[in-house]
Chains A and B, each alone.
Chain A
């Protein structure tokens, strides 16, 4: 039996029946196969941290709010005729994001509007910790959500790692110093590559310069030994050396150079499923735009770097034939204030849009446009529509195939998920349950709807959720016999609007969009 098949069966044999029960931390290694299964299938998540707080309102512009925006952020407002409209929506990209615009048209970019969390904290440090740890605003957690995820999958790490089964780093971050992101409950789960230079030093055996003294001689010895002791140095080097050509990446673009390394390592066969790269400088209190031309300035060049880097990365990954295996996601500790300031900048704010990109994303926009009060003052901030942990949970679920109760243990709560990955991809994770064929009719619906599906025979739950991912109506929970099933759903109490019907069981998740009429 192939190992993956075995793990697959084992996980089913051991599956807990109480899917909808309480979600404590599971101590068993019951699902420890999943990440490895993913690694074998080559699924990779690349997190792009936009350091400093990205100005969401100048990144994805709600066109229906332009008159209010012109009033409240005159110092940074972008000229409408330069914006890149997003078809089928009342949104537009910043003019520097032409690559994102193309990705969107190709169905490879998902925009999630107004992502944030309750009781926004406006400190860079604290809010970064919240985003990286996945904690509540008032909760102190010193591990990162991917760190806990990896710890859940590899509870023994670092004892006995690397080994024949798991020869590669569990996660790689590029940046000086390890972030909280990959900090597990007891140990750091990442390999840190200081910067592209140190990566090239590693793979090319270049030495850091040491002074021409006896002390320099000792320093050189210590550094060489340290490099040789890098448990993962050799596998990273081997992976990198397998790749002899890559597509073009822009020079003088810090992020592009980092993503170039990530693409190289993925392509070289490294099974590492998680990467983090960073782009700094989004803290645009002043000179966010140029006075003479608001489409230029600090923010425009940062977005251009982001755009060019992601474009080059997607192009390279596609060229290597790995486009279907890679998912990217941006995050930033907060958005910026609704109103602008006289220094041609914006101050710390709250919710902001978040991007998920890759061949496998479910295209489109999640959420509604933010509403800009025409009389906004410095006290006003954008409310969140989606909790950032819903996004994390969705990625864990739909990209890494993680079970509901395990997600709840990693994220410390059971967050509703959002449709981020295309259906066929989600179900590919669990081929045995992909035939659930969820259908809702009539659609639009005014009163009673019929929900048809094929039950796997496992415990399951069906509920209605709104566009924010919040549960708005319980439909069914329990066990139904394997085979065709049909349920009646009374929608009379539900206000008019757009909803999803969400069907989930331990191992699958399906959604269907439904429009409720008056």
Chain B
């Protein structure tokens, strides 16, 4: 196929996508500001003034929990046990150790409904090399998205999956817009390989990523009529940002776009086996000199074909503003959204310095942040609101929710597809942020992550937790999946002691400590209003002695259901 901007994707794809995309993308807007909903933090709130100096306080459950809550999706009991036994340094090293790549996605959808038949790929086989699936491509797209969900709920105890979400939100492509699953897999794989690596390498690969070239029109960017889309976002969203020190000009956007002319993809793998690759097509490249503004020290990138790319990226990434912007984004993702003058000075600037002096390696920045006095300040505890991923997938992981047959491919597909659309209903469709800036709660001041919580989503979140506890998370009219709440409690240190059971569960599930009053209220639910702890202890021990007795099981189960229903509807549950 000739190399040009002729996109072979059928116009019919919008109807095909309609069929798969059951949930209209929801953009969480900041609610109207009112007296009740003051959007900005109140002035009376206290500020964290500590900086990057190494944390020297005790390493106990509270610190281990905070590190895990911010770097994982949900905390399992054994993870917390293990991490509180380490030193701070060991814990952070372990969190920053990347995982081996997970097994790639396969056809797990053939046969789930009458027309779910991939034209090229059999059940259980990989679709990564296959020609485009046309109207069936949507199955692969969902397969990719649900594969991401699987990777998250089966994550190892490290930051890797969280970093992929961080980069996905920062360096956005939209999987449905691209509608070529193998190209989007390439994008995810690229994020995974670079998630804890070098930021310059990441941006270089991103620039040449086939799905990014499609998504931000790099394939259409040619001399004579440059498409500025990527050249703009490269600066505005991926590197320089819109901070107070960001002063690049429209001229810089145009110049960057001209540098990038000529980069495109070979469309051959669209109708054929194989993977997409970027290529440089010199005849489409604008080989004239590109003049940048004073923001970039009036740099001129002279016409030099494909080599101009590295000049451009060195110039943009090398600007101090990029290091600050990335550190701000990391800070607001992992610590707290709103960055004050004090934090800018005490945390962001020294962090950016570390970023630069380590040649844009990401891990040293994260290590400095996660070992700092600032990160473990008690005021930073519970200060972020769980995204739908942390809420649903985190809860799924913490409760170790299992479908009836974990090895059955189509069942897994159906289950995770349901989870995927449920998350979309909560405002976060995996792989498809609402726009190129990412999900609004991650960047939209002043509301930030408060936007995850609306009267609609909070009701749906309660439906998630209630249904997991009671009638089963809805997968289809035949399949409903319950959390094994007894199994969860069973693994706690002392489930026969009501106070310990609640305290341990709250530590794993909630972002803030509960007051004694609320704890006592929860206990009264567990005890069905009885005043003596021994009634629970007896009931639990009776169950433990004869776990197959349905009567004894039902006694403890119904109380745990009511108790956890209540706990998971507390405001504290939504914090992390």
Contacts and interface: CB of A to CB of B under 8 A. Distances in A.
A128 B575 contact: no
A409 B554 CA distance: 22
A215 B559 contact: no
A434 to B, nearest CB: 41
Given A176-B566, A221-B37, A222-B458, A283 B511 contact: no
Contacts of A212: 42, 44-46
A212 B45 CA distance: 5
Contact of A123 (B336, B531, B555): B555
Contacts of B385: 218, 222
A215 B383 contact: yes
B464 to A, nearest CB: 14
Interface stretch (A66-74, A186-194, A425-433, A457-465): A186-194
Interface residues of B, number: 56
A178 B565 contact: yes
B108 interface: no
A221 B562 contact: no
A231 B42 CA distance: 28
Contacts of B384: 218
A274 B377 CA distance: 49
B406 to A, nearest CB: 26
B57 interface: no
Given A194-B521, A219-B572, A222-B458, A214 B383 contact: yes
A180 to B, nearest CB: 6
Given A219-B571, A226-B458, A140 B554 contact: yes
Contacts of A218: 382-385, 449-450, 575
Nearest to A280: B529
Contact of A229 (B46, B455, B563): B455
B332 interface: no
B356 interface: no
A362 B521 CA distance: 38
A486 to B, nearest CB: 51
Interface in B489-544: 511-512, 521-522, 524-525, 528-532, 535, 538-539
Contacts of B42: 212, 217
A138 B552 CA distance: 11
B116 interface: no
Contacts of A126: 551, 555
Interface string A120-160: 00011110110000000010101000000000000000000
Interface in A24-69: 49, 51-52
Contact of B41 (A49, A214, A281): A214
A213 interface: yes
A223 interface: yes
A480 interface: no
B381 interface: yes
A188 B455 contact: no
A280 B531 contact: yes
A216 B459 CA distance: 21
A129 B555 contact: yes
Contact of A213 (B46, B528, B571, B572): B46
A401 B90 CA distance: 69
A212 B378 CA distance: 13
Contacts of A485: none
Q: Pick from B381, B530, B532 the residue with the most CB of A within 10 Å.
A: B530
Contact of A177 (B458, B531, B535, B563): B563
Interface string B545-574: 000001100110011001101100101101
A433 B341 CA distance: 80
Nearest to A278: B529
Pick from B381, B535, B558 the residue with the most CB of A within 10 Å: B558
A392 B566 CA distance: 28
B282 interface: no
A142 to B, nearest CB: 6
A215 B48 CA distance: 12
A142 B450 contact: no
Nearest to A187: B471
B379 interface: yes
Interface residues of A, number: 46
B458 A225 contact: yes
Contact of A125 (B41, B466, B539, B572): B539
A222 to B, nearest CB: 4
B528 A51 contact: yes
Contacts of A224: 36-37
B529 A52 contact: yes
A142 B572 CA distance: 28
Contacts of A216: 45
B555 A125 contact: yes
B456 interface: yes
A490 interface: no
A315 B566 CA distance: 34
B45 A217 contact: yes
A51 B383 contact: no
Most buried by B among A125, A211, A228: A125
A213 B521 CA distance: 24
Contacts of A281: 531
B313 interface: no
B557 to A, nearest CB: 8
Interface in A235-292: 278, 280-281, 283
B126 to A, nearest CB: 40
B141 interface: no
Nearest to A184: B471
Interface string B78-104: 000000000000000000000000000
Nearest to B520: A176
A215 B381 contact: yes
B338 to A, nearest CB: 8
A218 B37 CA distance: 11
Contacts of A213: 45-46, 379, 383
Contacts of B41: 214, 217
Nearest to B571: A222
A179 interface: yes
Interface centre among A142, A226, A231, A278 (most CB of B within 10 A): A226
Interface in B321-337: 336
Nearest to A224: B36
B454 interface: yes
Contacts of B466: 187-188
A188 B465 CA distance: 13
A215 B379 contact: yes
Nearest to B526: A177
B562 A52 contact: no
A47 B384 CA distance: 41
B453 interface: yes
Nearest to B337: A214
A128 B459 CA distance: 29
Contact of B575 (A140, A180, A219): A219
A123 B563 CA distance: 19
Given A215-B379, A278-B529, A228 B455 contact: yes
Given A123-B539, A178-B562, A221-B37, A128 B528 contact: yes
Interface of B: 36-37, 41-42, 44-46, 336, 338, 379-385, 449-450, 453-456, 458-459, 466, 470-471, 511-512, 521-522, 524-525, 528-532, 535, 538-539, 550-551, 554-555, 558-559, 562-563, 565-566, 569, 571-572, 574-575
Given A213-B45, A214-B338, A222-B574, 6 more contacts: A125-B558, A126-B551, A142-B554, A186-B471, A221-B37, A224-B36
22 contacts: A51-B530, A52-B531, A126-B555, A142-B554, A177-B521, A177-B524, A178-B566, A187-B471, A188-B470, A211-B512, A214-B383, A215-B383, A215-B511, A217-B41, A217-B42, A218-B382, A218-B384, A218-B575, A221-B450, A222-B385, A223-B571, A283-B530
Interface of A: 49, 51-52, 123-126, 128-129, 138, 140, 142, 175-180, 183, 186-188, 194, 210-219, 221-226, 228-229, 231, 278, 280-281, 283
The 5 closest A-B pairs by CB, nearest first: A177-B525, A229-B455, A51-B529, A222-B571, A176-B521
